[in-house]
Chains A and B, each alone.
Chain A
């Protein structure tokens, strides 16, 4: 039996094809997992009482919530990296 993804170059082309497909699927799964995470935060922030449809204000709030959450992630990551680089605590 062949080893999946062995180190040498001359492996089964089906294996590299499979690796490519799995990587693409992994990326999709990561995207979906992230949407679930955003929902955890943004649902509570934006949806008050669920009505007969999502009003435009709620839709806007959800979209902004995603963008600001990402901004916050970037901001905190940058500042944290600075702190670590300075060797502070």
Chain B
């Protein structure tokens, strides 16, 4: 068994395994998406919830952040659905 680098990239024994490679690609994309979401959500919710930064995050700010996160993800799904249906409408018109 070769192990290591070759097989890790779905090319064990010089044979490409598209399924294996894509599994790894999908994981990397999922991680990148999660980071992107986290970063943007933090930015938006900080702006919404922290009016004047005090010496610590107070209780109402914590609650606002939790609420904001949940609504951000709801809104994300709404926007995703709206974009998807627009794409479908555009395709039907072509």
B-binding residues in A (CB < 8 A): 1, 12, 14-15, 17-18, 21-22, 25, 28-29, 31-36, 38-40, 42-44, 46-47, 49-54, 58-59, 62-63, 65-67, 70
Q: Decide: B44 and A43 in contact? CB cutoff 8 A.
A: yes
Give chain B's interface residues, CB within 8 Å of chain A: 14-18, 21-22, 25-26, 29, 33, 36-37, 40, 44-45, 48, 64, 67-68, 70-72, 74-76, 78-84, 86-87
User: From DSSP, what is the main secondary structure of chain B's interface residues?
Assistant: helix
Instruction: Return A43 CB to nearest CB of chain B, in Å.
Output: 6
**CB-contact partner of B67 in A15, A21, A52, under 8 A:** A52
A-B interface, 10 closest residue pairs, ranked by CB to CB distance from nearest: A50-B71, A14-B16, A63-B82, A18-B18, A66-B82, A50-B68, A17-B18, A54-B74, A50-B67, A62-B78
CB-defined contacts of A50 to chain B, threshold 8 Å = 45, 48, 64, 67-68, 70-72
In the bound complex, residues from chain A placing their C-beta under 8 Å from that of B84 are 31
